[in-house]
Amino acid sequence: MPILEKTKKKYSSIQYLRGIAALLVVVLHTYAFESKAGVGASVLPAWSVFGSAGVDLFFVISGFVMVLTTDSTSRVSLFLYRRVSRIYPLYWVYSGILALGYLLLPTLVRREDAASVDYLSSFLLLPQEQLPLLVVGWTLIHEMYFYLVFAGLLLFPRKVLPKLLFVWLLTLLICEVFAAEQHVSPYYRLLSSPLTVEFILGCYIGHFRTSFRKVAGLKSLIIAVVFLLSSWIVQWSLYGEDPQGWLRVLTIGIPAAVLLFVCVRLEMVDSSAVRFKESRLHVFLERLGDASYSLYLSHFLVLSLLSRVFARCMGFISPTALPGAMDNVVFVVFSLIVCVAFGFLSYRFIEQPLIRLFRRLV
């Protein structure tokens, strides 16, 4: 998702969570590609689909960052320019690479329904019946909708923001009541999507981040993490699949919002957070957070290529040459390392130059 804007107060915890969210999505898609790449038994468990929680965490963070980086003096035109210039350029780079791959090397890129993809809607991030060309683009369609509505909220005094967010929530509920999934258009499904609640929750956290001063400490963080994991485990035990709709908001979105709030409060008032910033893990997580958007956009293409190449290599190896599911273990570990490394390179040599270019234009 879009990277954190420069603010008077930069929260390292937001960077940590963004990096972790990106890694969760990478694990999710690695699980999807693993069965196509190896010849042994799968090593990633079925509940690896919990990696989709990274998307919900991104949405909550996005709402928080929008409030954090704006105030009553923010210009709507400049806000939209910054959002568009962060979302589209890098997205177009990887969508363009993917489009060329489908046209020139269709056997190396995995996407069975590529012929029926709406290319125009995909590149413009418009609501559509199926997944965009770059499949993770469906989340960016939601992001652009969030930004458009939030830009409208900037026209009002900041003190009425909580009331406006509540009106937005009520409008969502009304739209959802009248939504018939088999009859409505993709645009109406976007307006009535429960996932919007996660962005609104993030906005509320950003607005009230200085409240509830007693919510701090490592114990609160542990409780928040356990809350997120346990709510998902209960859902998985009952339904055995990745939650959708309001169930997703209840079991992942709300716990993700709680985790974000606790992390921000912990960084604001707990001295242990200051000590952690002196560690090497802090440096890695900070950089991972910086590169999270590049990692998020590039990993699907990287995994697609790796799975094809790995499957062909395994075709020349006897199934008994590697013990157990070692082929899958190698693919999973290698894929995670390559995806993260490529994400860092993409941020350094593609994303950052694009950011500087569009800043100079302003």
| 26, part of any domain | yes
Q: Determine the average pLDDT of the residues in 184-206.
A: 94
Is residue 112 predicted with pLDDT exceeding 70?
Answer: no
Tell me, what's the pLDDT at 316? 57
Q: Report yes or no: 16 and 284 within 8 Å, Cβ to Cβ.
A: no
| 3, part of any domain | no
Percent of the chain scoring above 70 in pLDDT: 85
Tell me, what's the pLDDT at 8? 45
Tell me, what's the pLDDT at 136? 95
Tell me, what's the pLDDT at 210? 77
**Domain total in the chain:** 1
| 193, part of any domain | yes
Q: Report yes or no: 335 and 75 within 8 Å, Cβ to Cβ.
A: no
| pLDDT tens readout for residues 291-313 | 999 999 999 999 988 888 887 77
Q: Determine the average pLDDT of the residues in 163-173.
A: 96
Tell me, what's the pLDDT at 40? 59
Q: Determine the average pLDDT of the residues in 106-116.
A: 67
Is residue 317 predicted with pLDDT exceeding 90?
Answer: no
Tell me, what's the pLDDT at 140? 98
Tokens of 176: 């959802």
| 95, part of any domain | yes
Tokens of 114: 């590529």
Q: Determine the average pLDDT of the residues in 162-191.
A: 87
Q: Determine the average pLDDT of the residues in 128-145.
A: 94
- Confidence bin at 271 (pLDDT 50/70/90): low
Is residue 61 predicted with pLDDT exceeding 80?
Answer: yes
Tell me, what's the pLDDT at 235? 86
Is residue 127 predicted with pLDDT exceeding 80?
Answer: yes
Q: Report yes or no: 26 and 295 within 8 Å, Cβ to Cβ.
A: yes
| 335, part of any domain | yes
| 117, part of any domain | yes
In the block, which residue shows the tokens 């999710």? 28
Is residue 116 predicted with pLDDT exceeding 90?
Answer: no
Residue type, 263: C
When computed from its CA atoms, the radius of gyration of the chain, rounded to whole angstroms, is 21
Q: Determine the average pLDDT of the residues in 73-96.
A: 94
Q: Report yes or no: 20 and 54 within 8 Å, Cβ to Cβ.
A: yes
- Residues 6 or more apart whose Cβ sits within 8 Å of residue 255: 224, 227, 228, 231, 232
Tell me, what's the pLDDT at 312? 77
Q: Which residue has the higher pLDDT, 206 or 321?
A: 206
| 2, part of any domain | no
Is residue 108 predicted with pLDDT exceeding 70?
Answer: no
Give start and end residues of each alpha helix (H) in the chain: 12-37, 53-68, 76-104, 119-124, 137-153, 161-177, 186-191, 196-207, 218-239, 245-248, 254-269, 271-276, 280-290, 292-314, 326-346, 352-361
- Confidence bin at 330 (pLDDT 50/70/90): confident
pTM here is 0.91
Which parts of the chain are beta strand (E)?
Answer: none
C-alpha 248/C-alpha 195 separation (Å) is 8
Q: Determine the average pLDDT of the residues in 213-229.
A: 77
Burial (CB count <10 Å: 0-12, 13-18, 19+), residue 236: middle
Is residue 193 predicted with pLDDT exceeding 80?
Answer: yes
Is residue 171 predicted with pLDDT exceeding 80?
Answer: yes
Tell me, what's the pLDDT at 7? 42
Alpha-carbon torsion angle 70, 75, 76, 80, nearest 10:
-70
Tell me, what's the pLDDT at 242? 83
Query: Could you list the residue range(s) of the whole structural domain that residue 77 is in?
Result: 12-361
From the CB of residue 318, how many other CB atoms can be counted at a distance below 10 Å? Answer: 8
| 5, part of any domain | no
Is residue 2 predicted with pLDDT exceeding 50?
Answer: no
Tell me, what's the pLDDT at 182? 56
Lowest-confidence range among 4-18, 43-57, 67-81, 242-256?
4-18
The CA–CA distances, whole Å, from 150 to 88, 146, 221, 312, 341 equal 18, 6, 29, 48, 34
Q: Report yes or no: 35 and 55 within 8 Å, Cβ to Cβ.
A: no
Q: Which residue has the higher pLDDT, 226 or 88?
A: 88
